[in-house]
């Protein structure tokens, strides 16, 4: 079967299990998940969906999220969209009537203003991750070639490829911000472009000469949000006959002046403070800070609060060339892997959980933790806590080396686990940086394993879950075998 056929088959297998094309309200994807807006949540066949070999797990948030893994999800999503688009469309009345109450209740769930704001921030930066990853890997390759003295005629070209996107990242942030906040995307990009325009070096503000890029992505975000509000005001008050001329002009003029003579300076100070604080924290309390960050990252992910870190990562990459926080946070995944291996050994009779672990571990090593979180540690309870302990010790290990002067950073955001190795950078040699990160992973694996094996199971939890879950063959009167499953009490909470 060709790759296209395989992806089409995966999409075709998923579609009927989420209620068919008429139940799909929206389709999107992130790095690992197919995100579906559903009209009627009750039509989803969760267990059948989880049983598909290509599905690593499901997550329910404001959208129904099916974990397919990196790479796969980007290829399956277009096939899924094509299947939905090809299906006969129900009438408007049918769509309005179908599951309206359920849909309203689902949208209302977990919709606090703060989380909605964080989701908007994530929607601005997540589309930039593929470019950050690609340019980051090229930057790492270029650095390696320069250190080895190889291909000197090629390295300048690689440097241009790696740096071009970062030089203009403010424009992309402005474009996405305006789009997300309901404005005209190109106007947001136009205002944000002021920040990286070389000519701002001739302008003085607050007694200082501005520099191109001052304020970075935070300034671009603020400028684009301001542009959206100016544009909406113009749409409301400018006569329709003049709108096409006046609205874009006033939007760029007003928000541009505020950006040049206010936002660039303020955002620049905030960006500098973020970089200085991150460096100070890891230099003076690196082990403790790494312990806390590595241990709390998974709960932050569960609450959706990790999205607040995306602009911070991007700011650090823009300022220093890498973010020192991501390798520490990646240790949370290492704790999950160690905990999962301990669960595998502690439940030798539970074939179902052991199969889940065996299928999810490769993705876990590559930093895709959802299958292990939602399929293993979180449902069991205690192993989720001990996995966080493993992440805490791994983060503390890397933080300790930051205290000793060995910075370990990532040139992009998104990947984790072993997938982060090509993106590693730091203030020392690449070999030393890789060794420290690898050491942190090993510590996370080991502590997550030991903590889970020793403290991850109570006697009642073992009694409940260490049971045969596979069907067994028993003879019947006709002489033929028939499958049966041992009786099992419901899980005790």
pLDDT of residue 156: 93
The yes-or-no verdict on residue 484 having pLDDT over 60 is no
Sign of the dihedral through C-alpha 259, 264, 269, 273: positive
Task: Read off the pLDDT of each residue in 250-274 and give the average, rounded to a whole number.
Answer: 94
Q: Which of 30, 135, 234, 388 is catalytic?
A: 30
Sequence-distant (6+) residues with CB within 8 A of 199 are none
Environment class of residue 121 by beta-carbon count within 10 Å: exposed (0-12), middle (13-18) or buried (19+)? middle
Burial string for 412-428 (b: 16+ CB within 10 Å, else e) reads: bbbbbbbbbebbbbbbe
State the average pLDDT over residues 445-463: 92
What mean pLDDT is predicted for residues 410-439? 90
Could you report the per-residue pLDDT of 80-131, keeping only the tens digit for each?
Answer: 999 988 876 544 444 444 444 444 454 555 566 777 787 888 889 888 888 8
Closest to 260 (Cα-Cα) out of 206, 185, 218: 206
- The dihedral through the CA atoms of 118, 123, 124, 128 has a sign that is positive
What average pLDDT does range 440-468 have in this prediction? 91
Pick from 127, 18, 22, 27: which is nearest to 77 by CA?
27
Indicate the pTM of the whole model: 0.73
The Cα-based distances of 327 to 104, 226, 297, 338 in angstroms read: 39, 34, 12, 17
pLDDT tens for 35-79 read 998 988 889 998 899 888 888 888 887 789 998 877 788 889 999
Active site residue 135: no
Residue 225: which of 159, 167, 266, 173 has the closest Cα?
173
d(CA 302, CA 107): 18
CA dihedral 8, 361, 70, 444 (to 10 degrees): 170
User: Residue 205: enclosing H or E segment and its boundaries?
Assistant: strand 204-205
Distance of alpha carbon 421 from alpha carbon 140, whole angstroms: 10
H or E element that contains 64: strand 64-67
Question: What does the alpha-carbon distance between residue 75 and residue 389 come to, in Å, rounded to a whole number?
Answer: 35
């Amino acid at each position: 079967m060709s790759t296209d056929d395989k992806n089409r088959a995966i999409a075709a297998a998923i579609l009927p299990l989420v209620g068919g094309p008429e139940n799909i309200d929206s389709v999107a994807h992130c790095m690992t998940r197919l995100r579906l807006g559903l009209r009627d949540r009750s039509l989803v066949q969760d267990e059948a969906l989880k049983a598909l070999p290509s599905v690593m797990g499901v997550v329910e948030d404001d959208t129904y999220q099916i974990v397919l893994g990196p790479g796969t999800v980007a290829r399956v999503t277009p096939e899924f969209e094509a299947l939905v688009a090809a299906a006969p469309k129900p009438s408007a009345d049918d769509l309005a009537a179908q599951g309206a109450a359920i849909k309203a209740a689902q949208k209302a769930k977990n919709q606090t203003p703060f989380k909605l704001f964080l989701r908007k921030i994530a929607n601005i930066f997540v589309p930039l991750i593929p470019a950050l990853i690609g340019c980051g890997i090229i930057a790492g390759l270029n650095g390696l070639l320069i250190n080895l003295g190889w291909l000197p005629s090629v390295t300048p070209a690689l440097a241009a490829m790696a740096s071009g996107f970062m030089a203009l990242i403010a424009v992309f942030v402005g474009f996405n911000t305006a789009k997300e906040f309901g404005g005209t995307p190109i106007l947001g990009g136009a205002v944000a472009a002021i920040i990286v325009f070389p000519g701002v070096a001739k302008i003085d503000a607050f007694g200082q000469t501005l520099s191109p890029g001052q304020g970075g992505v935070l300034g671009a975000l603020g400028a684009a949000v301001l542009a959206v509000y100016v544009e909406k005001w113009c749409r409301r008050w400018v006569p329709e006959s003049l709108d096409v001329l006046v609205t874009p002009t006033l939007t760029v003029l007003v928000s541009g002046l505020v950006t040049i003579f206010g936002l660039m300076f303020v955002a620049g100070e905030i960006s500098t403070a973020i970089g200085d604080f991150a460096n100070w924290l890891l230099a003076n309390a690196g082990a403790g800070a790494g312990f806390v960050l590595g241990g709390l990252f998974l709960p932050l992910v569960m609450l959706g609060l990790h999205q607040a870190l995306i602009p911070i990562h991007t700011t650090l990459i823009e300022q220093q060339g890498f973010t020192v926080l991501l390798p520490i946070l990646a240790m949370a995944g290492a704790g999950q892997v160690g905990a999962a291996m301990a669960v595998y050994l502690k439940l030798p009779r539970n074939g179902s959980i052991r199969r889940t672990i065996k299928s999810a571990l490769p993705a876990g090593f590559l930093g895709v933790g959802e299958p292990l979180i939602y399929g293993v540690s979180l449902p069991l309870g205690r192993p989720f806590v001990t996995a966080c302990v493993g992440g805490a010790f791994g983060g503390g290990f890397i933080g300790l080396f930051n205290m000793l002067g060995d910075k370990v950073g990532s040139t992009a955001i998104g990947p984790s686990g072993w997938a982060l190795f090509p993106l590693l950078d730091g203030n020392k040699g690449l070999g030393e940086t890789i060794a420290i990160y690898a050491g942190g992973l090993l510590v996370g694996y080991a502590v997550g394993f030991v903590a889970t094996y020793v403290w991850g199971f109570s006697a009642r939890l073992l009694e409940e879950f260490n049971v045969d879950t596979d069907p067994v063959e028993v003879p019947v009167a006709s002489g033929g075998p028939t499958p049966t499953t041992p009786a099992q009490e419901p899980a005790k909470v």
